[in-house]
Amino acid sequence: MREFSRRNIFGLGVGAAAALSVAGCSPSGSSASEKVGSTSGKTAQGKPIGDGSTAYLGKQPHQPSAPEKLEPGQKPPQFVVFSWDGAGEVGNGLFPRFRKLAKDHNASMTFFLSGLYLLPESKKRMYRPPNNPVGASDIGYLTDAHIKETLKNVRAAWLEGHEIGTHFNGHFCGTSSGSVAHWTPAQWDDEIKQAMDFVTKWRTNTGFTDLEPLPFDYSKELVGGRTPCLLGQDNLLPTARKLGWRYDASSPGGLQVWPTKKQGLWDFPLQGIPFPGHSFPVLSMDYNIMANQSKNSTKAPPANYPGWRKQATDAYIAGFKRAYETNRAPFFIGNHFEQWNGGIYMDAVEEAFKHMADKKYKDVRLVSFRQLCDWLDAQDPKVLADLRRLGVGQQFTGRG
């Protein structure tokens, strides 16, 4: 998987801290290890949609039961969302590794699939990115073998209960006119339609006949995404709202407080979390931690790896514990299937995940963004308004 351009510094809104913006690549129950109301998985191919690249299999398996409604003053669950930008499997085994981790703990995640990861490079001229040459992309096209592995993993992920969102297509960052930062709502609409086409017409575009279809209607499955480098949200939102999306996860520099809606969509930002050894926080994403540790180098001297791995793990855990022990704000973590600096960030995410899933923490729910939307939408607006009054690290004083 080709490296991406990484630039732009955003203030985090916590003290005087700043962190590099991200560059993408890439349940309801009483505890993190319990998911109630699950249904069994389906293995049939279902009713084909379009050219058979996708198919309708009915209700998604392994979903939580209907969200309960909090009473005024009742302590909320601690939600944690692990999300993945790009969601391509390029032979490093990271996609199945984290699917297994989630399965072991009955957890759900969100995978933001890049549409180009299902388009062969030989067909790249089908992609017409706004303000960029035909076929251009700041991420690499996958080999046929890796497209197949990505399709297999995306299919399996949905059947296991995970959400499939979008990371759009060409990942254009920076400040040039081609950057997503300058795209209009109409251009975002075009980009999204192309991403959906690449996902729903992969069989036609690849010619593959030996793979099962993706087991969902993407026009209904797709309800949110994350923009490249966390840029362009203001112009994306009008289009996302028109398309009926429920949330966007593109805001940088968010705080660990209860979310609000922006232009009618739930706004789920990456959050500033404690950064051990520093007086400033770091955004809750693997790339941002790496950028602060090795100054954008993905292959720093290995002698640094053990200390950096522990620092990354401790940062995620510190962010989780701060929310869990105080205002119970949902905690958002972003990741990439990358082996930066010897894979230490993948190890850190896994270790932090296991820590959060420990049964010593009560009423922790490892969910997808869409599942979090379901819970939030089921709540009394007045109850949510009370939760939003709690600042970062401010103690919840209601009843447990």
Annotated domain spans of the chain = 9-36+46-58+78-388
pLDDT score at 110: 99
β-bridge mates for residue 144, sequence order: none
CB count in 10 Å sphere of residue 364: 25
The pLDDT value given to residue 45: 76
Q: What pLDDT, on a 0 to 100 scale, did the predictor assign at position 44?
A: 62
Angle, in degrees to the nearest 10, between helices 344-356 and 286-294: 130
Distance (Å) of CA 141 to CA 84, 223, 251, 269, 361: 18, 25, 26, 28, 42
Residue 301's contacts (CB-CB under 8 Å, 6 or more residues apart) are none
- For the stretch 251-262, pLDDT in tens is 988 999 999 999
Q: What is the pLDDT of residue 385?
A: 98
Would you state the pLDDT for residue 296? 83
Banded model confidence at residue 321, pLDDT cuts 50, 70, 90? very high
Higher pLDDT, 239 or 400: 239
What gap in Å lies between CA 143 and CA 1, rounded to an integer?
10
Task: Please give the C-alpha separations between residue 296 and each of 34, 222, 230, 260, in angstroms, as whole numbers.
Answer: 38, 32, 17, 32
List, for residues 81-107, the tens digit of each pLDDT value: 999 999 999 999 999 999 999 999 999
Token pair belonging to 359: 């049964």
Q: What percent of the chain has pLDDT over 70?
A: 89
- pLDDT of the residue at 339: 97
pLDDT band at 400 (very low <50, low <70, confident <90, very high): low
Alpha carbon of 35 to those of 63, 162, 365, 379: distances in Å?
8, 13, 9, 20
Q: Please report the pLDDT score of residue 270 as a whole number.
A: 97
Fold (topology level) of 9-36+46-58+78-388: TIM Barrel (3.20.20)
